[in-house]
Structure 1
Amino acid sequence: MPVATKTRLLSLDVFRGATVAAMILVNNPGDWGHIYEPLEHSAWNGCTPTDLIFPFFLFIVGVSVVYAMESKAEVKTNHSKMLWSALRRMVILIAISLITQLLFHPGFAHLRFPGVLQRIGVVYFIGTVLFIKTSQRTRDVLFAVLLTGYYIVMVWIPVPDTGKPSLDPETNMGAWVDRVVFSTNHLWSESKTWDPEGLLGTLPAIATCLFGIRVGSWLKRKDRDDAVKVSWLFTYGIVAIIVGLVWGLFFPINKALWTSSFVLYTGGWATVTLALCYWVIDVHGHKNIATFFVPLGVNAITAYVLSSYIPHYITNKPYFGGKSLYKVLFEPYFQLYVGSALSGLLLVFIIWGLMYILYRRKIVIKV
């Protein structure tokens, strides 16, 4: 469908596009046995650059909700239509994930129910409901309740399986809830006992979206000039990083658990990054740096979905003399870690090329 005529926040498209590019890169190394440390997730506690990617995307979802819906949300007669649209989008995202799994690995017996697109869909829908139906003050209170409530549940309430609180992978409250609700047959294939996109962890993930909604609402204010907006955002972001680090001493920063400290720490970095992009691109007009990332940002979900299909059906298949593209182009000519990273980078450029064609034709594929 044609690109909407309303003004887009170019820095947000750049930020979203860069996040999607990073997501494609880290999810598709040429050799999973040879990955540079910054391109891997933390083994458990801690935060690598790769751990920032998913929370950045959910933060961007929150900012995008404000820019896409604020004017419509002011008219109450639009609310029903907006909510049904958000519900439809959530269902489609969940369906895309489940259908993709079934195409790659036919059969329902071990179909993974939680997942990245599932979490994006659920968080988007709940974030939309909260943005349309509640005030910013109410959302701020809910943000605090989600983070403190999740901390209490995870750190102080005994897990039924063990009779004591735990933050370890298989014995924490979130893992227990996932096993009860989904059973071990429908969790992350690497463990079958817990899931990094589990049910309980979606609650603080909603807080990440609320973080983005607050930042988006501040950016759209017309009673403050750009210098004040950016100064406030940098301050807000830095304070969140510091509070996240301090809270991390008691409730460790952990992506798989999506801990409250992780929400604040990553939300702070997302705020600082968006503020920098906004100041450089939208305020000072350095739009030339946006050329590469905007096509990925405009069709972000399409790019992400293709990053699953293209490797499965093309680049990872032994079509090239019985070898994959990585083994033909990179393994013989580069040091293993370099070749593995370059293979992922090649996929980024392949998908960028496809998104660029859509962008030039003014096509935005919306779910």
Structure 2
Amino acid sequence: MAPTIPTRVSSVDVYRGFVMFLMMAEVLEFGHVSKALPESSFWAFLAYHQDHVDWVGCSLHDLIQPSFSFLVGVALPYSVASRLAKGQSFKDMFGHTLKRSLILIFLGIFLRSTHREQTNFTFEDTLTQIGLGYPILFWLGFRSFKTQVIALCTILVGYWLVFALYPLPDANFDYAAVGVASDWEHNLSGFAAHWNKNTNAAWAFDQWFMNLFPREKPFIRNGGGYSTLSFIPTLGTMILGLLAGQWLKDEEAPLEKVKRFGLIGIGLLGTGLLLNWTGICPNVKRIWTPTWTIFSGGWCFILLAFFYWIVDIKGYKKAFFWLMVIGMNSIAAYIISHTIVEFIHHSFQIHISKTYDQILGLNYESLVRGTAILTVEWLILHWMYRNRIFIRI
């Protein structure tokens, strides 16, 4: 019997739409409103969760990239089943996988190079990180559950060892050169110091690797502490998504899937908190520590359980249609949010008023401007949805 094309799971599109909306909503710039209203705990809370934490910890904004990566893994079993149903061979599918990976890597570099004097070769953004690990993820999609789990554990333990065995900076280390004060409040001490900003194994790798490419000036550090090698533990996040996608696709009762995802999520959160608390491995998104893979993976399982329950089980699809519009065109949403924000803003200034965003006063200027931009971006995606225009790689 020929394999059948699997039914699309609406909750996955909604979850992806939620993640992309959080990214697109950066234009609301809650931080500016919070600075204008320093006594407001409400705006301070929103501002905190619309930005990345300085080093150890987690905000809602920090969950965007792991969720997007996790959902790549969730979608893989459905993509493979669909291609098998169309009669494609493993060779053909793997060739497409390599092509997709290269497109993601080059698209990430292209978007990071806009408004620059030359190509900005950087490999720590969401698209390039996924592209670097995707061929391995695809290969694991055809392996057994045991092999997938062994691969995940090998990645987490091996990446932990790389950092743990890398020597700590000596007394003569020039912290200023790498953009980190020696007394920075977020510097970790003791064994956890192996995961400090721009003094770790991944930073050392990038000092060599990033200088293999043409640059305006030699690479010394990444201002945010991000690194190329984070694609390895990001692959761990995608493997967690692959496991979730396989369970989501099987014949288990829907509510049992929700329970499974919830319990796994809670277990991963607890494990991540324990690893961070004991100092075995800190929970740092910027360098994607193994603890971050585990901890953020816990949140991903919980969010998937929530959206699967409320969208596919309870049937509230219409209420989340606005997110589905974004989620079904996530690549388009990503490109739009990185390319035409200023164009939309200037268009409002030209055709409405140069001060259109001050209608509620200077305190809420960024909020009005961001809402206008976000609305136009969504309307573009809605037009694409209605006309069945979906960008696929």
Class of the TM-score when normalised by the shorter of the 2 chains: 0.7 to 0.9
For residues 291-347 of structure 1, give each alpha carbon's deviation from its aligned partner in whole angstroms, at most 9, with x where no partner exists: 1011111110111111111124442x59836x998x7233462463x4434433433
Structure 2 match to 1:145? 154
Q: Distance in 2 between matches of 1:242 and 1:141?
A: 21
1:116 equivalent to 2:132? Answer no
Choose from 256, 278, 289 the match for 1:228.
256
Distance 2:84 2:276 in 1: 36
Shift of 1:32: 6.6
Matching of residue 15 in structure 1 with residue 15 in structure 2: yes
Counterpart residue number, 1:208: 237
Q: Distance in 1 between matches of 2:211 and 2:168?
A: 16
Q: Which amino acid aligns with 1:148?
A: V
Moved more, 60-69 or 206-215: 60-69
Instruction: Assess, with a 3 A threshold, how the Cα gap between structure 1 residues 183 and 341 changes in structure 2: closer, same or farther.
Output: farther
Distance in 1 between the 2:121 and 2:244 partners? Answer: 36
Q: 1:334 to 1:8 in 2, by over 3 A?
A: farther
Q: For residue 39 of structure 1, give the secondary structure of its aligned residue in structure 2.
A: coil
Structure 1 unaligned segments of length 5 or more: list them.
Answer: none
Q: Which moved more, 1:152-161 or 1:277-286?
A: 152-161
* Correspondence for 2:76: 65
Is the CA contact (8 Å cut-off) linking 2:166 and 2:200 kept in structure 1?
Answer: no
| Contact 1:24 1:347 (C-alpha < 8 Å) held by counterparts | no
Rounded to whole Å, the distance in 2 between the matches of 1:274 and 1:207 is: 17
Aligned residue for 2:286, secondary structure, equals: coil
CA shift digits 1:152-199 (9 cap, x unpaired): 21123326896x963221111111111110139879x9x950365522
Structure 1 distance, partners of 2:359, 2:164, is 49
| Contact 1:63–1:214, Cα closer than 8 Å, also in 2 | yes
Q: Which residue of 2 aligns with 1:78?
A: 89
**Mapping 1:1-367, distance limit 5 Å:** 7-26=7-26, 28-30=27-29, 36-70=47-81, 72=83, 78-108=89-119, 111-132=121-142, 134-158=143-167, 166-183=194-211, 193-194=221-222, 197-222=226-251, 224-249=252-277, 250=279, 251-315=281-345, 317=346, 320=349, 328-331=355-358, 333-334=360-361, 336=363, 338-367=364-393
- Structure 1 window deviating more from structure 2 (174-183 vs 92-101): it is 92-101
Corresponding letter in the other structure for 2:154: V
C-alpha distance in 2 between matches for 1:105 and 1:159: 35
Instruction: Please say if residues 66 and 216 of structure 1, whose CA atoms lie closer than 8 Å, have aligned partners that are also in contact.
Output: yes
Instruction: Give the 3 Å change call, closer, same or farther, for CA 66–308 of structure 1 in structure 2.
Output: same
Q: Distance in 1 between matches of 2:62 and 2:274?
A: 18
Percent sequence identity over aligned pairs: 26
Deviations, residues 100-124 of structure 1 (Å, cap 9, x unaligned): 344421324x543542221122233
For 2:149, give the aligned amino acid. Answer: D
Which SS does the other structure have where 1:47 is aligned? coil
- Contact 1:154–1:173 under 8 Å retained in 2: yes
Contact 1:241 1:265 (C-alpha < 8 Å) held by counterparts: yes
Q: Amino acid of the residue matched to residue 96 of structure 2?
A: S
State the distance in 2 between where 1:32 and 1:281 align. Answer: 32
The alignment covers a number of residue pairs equal to 353
Query: What value does the CA root-mean-square deviation take over the aligned residues?
Result: 3.1
Change (3 A) 1:141 1:252: same
Task: Return the alpha-carbon distance in structure 2 between the equivalents of residues 298 and 72 of structure 1.
Answer: 18
TM-score after normalising by structure 1: 0.86
Structure 2 stretches lacking a partner, 5+ long:
35-46, 174-190
Say which one has the larger Rg: 2
Give the distance between the partners of 2:148 and 2:86, measured in 1 at CA: 19
Look up the SS of the partner of 1:320 in the other structure.
Answer: helix
Which secondary structure does the structure 2 equivalent of 1:152 belong to? Answer: helix
Change (3 A) 1:111 1:122: closer
How far the C-alpha of 1:72 sits from its partner, in A, is 4.1
Where do 4+ consecutive residues of structure 1 move more than 6 Å? Answer: 74-77, 184-187
Contact 1:24 1:344 in 2 (8 A): no
The normalised TM-score by structure 2 is 0.81
